[in-house]
């Protein structure tokens, strides 16, 4: 009986995001040459999130780790001079232009006039570099990405811009460089929604000249997909079952603050995992320990499906898939003790009960 309880609990925990739960993220430090061959880290395509036209190619970028070298800025008042621009003022003061605009109630096209007094919010600001993602930035400072999103008023499609200055939460350690790996992991919280909002790389300045580098061999590095594809433009929310098997844990509250955001389905090791509907792979990797091998598919119209605990991932980010395509093989990766699939359906980033959108099982 004890083993059964542990198995079911592990299945539910793999999908749960209880308040205060901490999830670790792989470190930015370089991987030794002897590192085993593993699933590539996330491959990023802006169109996979439906935020760019299929023919709009951003400047090439090269994945890079984040060095926590935030700039401390004091609260101050700035008097606008003739010829000043909001971005120029941001560069002069060290604060973020979006933060300044938000503080002073400025809206696009951000008109300012000589003699106008602007409040400059103080704090610690990180200047975004090419190839950095929001998740990597938050991880480098040991703070929850969702707090960075809220503090800076970031909105969809959550694409950062090279040179953009992000205000860090007050809880950010004063000296993150000297934090131990355990301390940094404990301070960093991550869930599926964070991957959707913080997995985009900062876009390089289109006017800059960037040398295209060959794809890195390091499995922790990210590369751009060779071909950009857009998710379906319209989707009605009709899905098929990704696997057949016994239901281990259903959707919803499990008591004690534990919530399952999807379904956990018992399967045999190596069972094919099939795409529940047409779409574009938004993520394929194993960077979230609790989920193990994880795939996210964007179906358009705000619909995303998640497939966790895979033993093998057959698709890459930016790849177009059809309903029924085998996207991976089921296993017991992550925090589970028997082969199973954790399956989620999300609408506009919010988890919904998959049973309401799947065919009735006989």
Provide φ and ψ at 205, rounded to 5°.
-65, 120
pLDDT band of residue 31 (cuts 50, 70, 90) is very low
Section 140-168 average pLDDT: 85
| Residue ranges matching CATH 3.10.350.10 in the chain | 75-121
- Of residues 199 and 78, the one with the higher pLDDT is 78
Q: Are strands 252-255 and 123-127 parallel, antiparallel or unpaired?
A: unpaired
From residue 263, alpha-carbon distances to 169, 180, 252 in Å are 34, 35, 9
Cα 140 from chain centroid (whole Å): 15
pLDDT band of residue 254 (cuts 50, 70, 90) is confident
Per-residue pLDDT tens over the stretch 275-317? 999 999 988 887 677 788 999 999 988 899 999 999 999 998 8
CATH 1.20.1200.10 for domain 75-121: no
b/e per residue 256-279 (b: at least 16 CB within 10 A): eebbbbbbbbbbeeebbbbbbbbb
Provide φ and ψ at 87, rounded to 5°.
-65, -40
User: Is residue 146 scored above 80 in pLDDT?
Assistant: yes
Give SS3 for 140. Answer: helix
Residue with tokens 């296993």: 331
What percentage of the chain exceeds 90 in pLDDT? 41
Contacts of 189 by beta carbon, 8 Å cutoff, 6+ apart? 21, 22, 23, 144, 145, 146
Architecture of the 2-38+219-356 domain: Distorted Sandwich (2.70)
Per-residue pLDDT tens over the stretch 44-83? 333 333 333 323 333 333 445 688 889 999 999 999 999 9
| Residue ranges matching CATH 2.70.70.10 in the chain | 2-38+219-356
Per-residue pLDDT tens over the stretch 90-135? 999 999 998 999 999 999 889 999 999 999 999 999 999 887 878 7
């Amino acid at each position: 009986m004890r083993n059964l309880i542990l198995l079911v609990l592990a299945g539910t925990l793999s999908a749960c995001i209880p308040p205060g739960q901490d999830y670790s993220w792989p470190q930015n430090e370089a991987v030794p040459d002897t590192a085993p061959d593993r699933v590539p880290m996330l491959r990023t395509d802006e169109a996979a999130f439906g935020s760019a036209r299929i023919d709009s190619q951003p400047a090439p970028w090269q994945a890079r780790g984040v060095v926590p070298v935030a700039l401390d800025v004091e609260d101050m008042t700035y008097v606008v001079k003739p010829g000043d621009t909001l971005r120029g003022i941001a560069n002069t003061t060290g604060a973020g232009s979006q933060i300044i605009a938000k503080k002073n109630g400025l809206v696009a096209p951000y008109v300012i006039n000589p003699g106008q007094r602007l409040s400059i919010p103080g704090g610690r600001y990180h200047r975004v570099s090419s190839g950095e993602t929001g998740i990597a930035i938050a991880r480098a400072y040991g703070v929850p990405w969702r707090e960075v999103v809220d503090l800076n008023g970031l909105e969809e499609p959550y694409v950062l811009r090279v040179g953009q200055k992000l205000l860090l939460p007050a809880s950010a350690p004063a000296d993150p460089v000297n934090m131990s790996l355990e301390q940094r992991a404990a301070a960093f919280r991550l869930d599926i929604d964070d991957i959707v909002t913080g997995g985009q790389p900062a876009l390089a300045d289109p006017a800059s000249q960037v040398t295209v580098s060959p794809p890195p061999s390091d499995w922790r590095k990210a590369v751009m997909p060779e071909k950009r594809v857009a998710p379906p433009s319209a989707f009605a929310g009709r899905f098929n079952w990704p696997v057949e098997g016994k239901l281990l844990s259903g959707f919803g509250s499990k008591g004690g603050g534990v919530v399952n955001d999807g379904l956990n389905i018992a399967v045999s090791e190596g069972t094919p995992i099939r795409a529940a509907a047409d779409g574009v792979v938004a993520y394929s990797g194993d960077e979230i320990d609790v989920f193990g091998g994880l795939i996210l598919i964007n179906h358009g119209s705000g619909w995303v499906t998640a497939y966790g605990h895979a033993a093998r991932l057959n698709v890459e980010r930016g790849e177009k898939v059809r309903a029924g395509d085998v996207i991976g093989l089921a296993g017991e990766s992550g925090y589970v003790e028997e082969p199973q699939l954790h399956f989620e359906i999300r609408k506009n980033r919010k988890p919904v009960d998959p049973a309401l959108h799947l065919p009735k099982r006989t």
